[in-house]
Chain A
Amino acid sequence: IQLTQSPSFLSASVGDRVTITCRASQGISSYVAWYQQKPGEAPKLLIFSTSTLQRGVPSRFSGSGSGTEFPLTISSLQPEDFATYYCQELDSYPPTFGGGTKVEIK
């Protein structure tokens, strides 16, 4: 399964509502996870089981979707949210990651 994230680059302002979409090359019957990676840092798990927030992750992050389309939404972008976001599918062995979406400050 190949994952395509769109957009690959996003320029937004603090307070904006942002949606990143992870599209699968075929339907996913299992789940999707989302990771956030800031420059020079390791990835951080944000969401697992498609829509469950990892402990400590702010509620402005939400995940949803099914089949081939899985959106990650940030309801009100904060300065600390500027980072690269990766989706991961769990249908394949091994699971694969999307190519990433870089969110930058407008």
Chain B
Amino acid sequence: EVQLVESGGGLVQPGTSLRLSCAASGFTFDDHAMHWVRQVPGKGLEWVSGISWNSGITGYADSVKGRFTISRDNAKNFMYVQMDSLRPEDTALYYCARDKGSVFNWYFDLWGRGTLVTVS
């Protein structure tokens, strides 16, 4: 089955760290760039970070630049985001999303169900 499954969310205090994981299955993982998109419950969508198929290109929203680090392991079909110096405004449901292309095509054609991060 083609799917993305996020894990690693939880309740943490401001200033602490968390690492989210995204497990991909059912498709050729290294054919696609991957992204993290977050959503405050009941609110809209915000792109957080993205990584190209070979990790050669990474990008971050200004709101997380310098605090979040995205990575991927194509051998294991996993993507990660290390979130440091967490702030209350980082509280959101974090989705893992597949890009239609191998570099940043920006069309997110497969999403996981999300993992909730609460910073309080």
Which chain A residues border B46 with CB–CB below 8 Å?
A: 97
Closest to B111 in A: A42
Judged by a CB distance under 8 angstroms, whether B109 is at the interface is yes
Q: Are A45 and B106 in contact (CB under 8 A)?
A: no
Taking chain A's interface residues, is the majority helix, strand, or loop, or is none over half, making it mixed? loop
Beyond A48-B100, A94-B59, is A42–B45 a contact (Cβ under 8 Å)? no
Q: Which of B44, B50, B95, B109 contacts A86 (CB 8 A)?
A: B44
Q: Which residues of B contact A (CB under 8 A)?
A: 44-47, 50, 59, 61, 95, 100, 106-109, 111-114
Judged by a CB distance under 8 angstroms, whether A20 is at the interface is no
Chain A-chain B contacts (Cβ-Cβ < 8 Å), number: 43
Which chain B residues border A45 with CB–CB below 8 Å?
A: 107-109
Mask for A40-56, Cβ within 8 A of B = 1, else 0? 01111100110000100
Judged by a CB distance under 8 angstroms, whether A99 is at the interface is yes
Q: Are B108 and A43 in contact (CB under 8 A)?
A: yes
Q: Are B109 and A54 in contact (CB under 8 A)?
A: yes
- A-B pairs, top 10 by smallest CB distance, nearest first, are A42-B111, A97-B45, A48-B107, A94-B47, A45-B109, A95-B106, A90-B106, A99-B44, A100-B44, A33-B107
Mask for A62-106, Cβ within 8 A of B = 1, else 0? 000000000000000000000000101010011111111000000
- CB A28 to nearest CB in B, in angstroms, measures 13
Which chain B residues border A95 with CB–CB below 8 Å?
A: 47, 106
Closest to B62 in A: A94
Which chain B residues border A41 with CB–CB below 8 Å?
A: 113
Q: Are A86 and B106 in contact (CB under 8 A)?
A: no
Closest to A86 in B: B45
A43 to B111, CA, bound (A): 7
Closest to B60 in A: A94
Beyond A90-B106, A95-B106, is A44–B47 a contact (Cβ under 8 Å)? no
Q: Which of B44, B59, B106, B108 contacts A98 (CB 8 A)?
A: B44
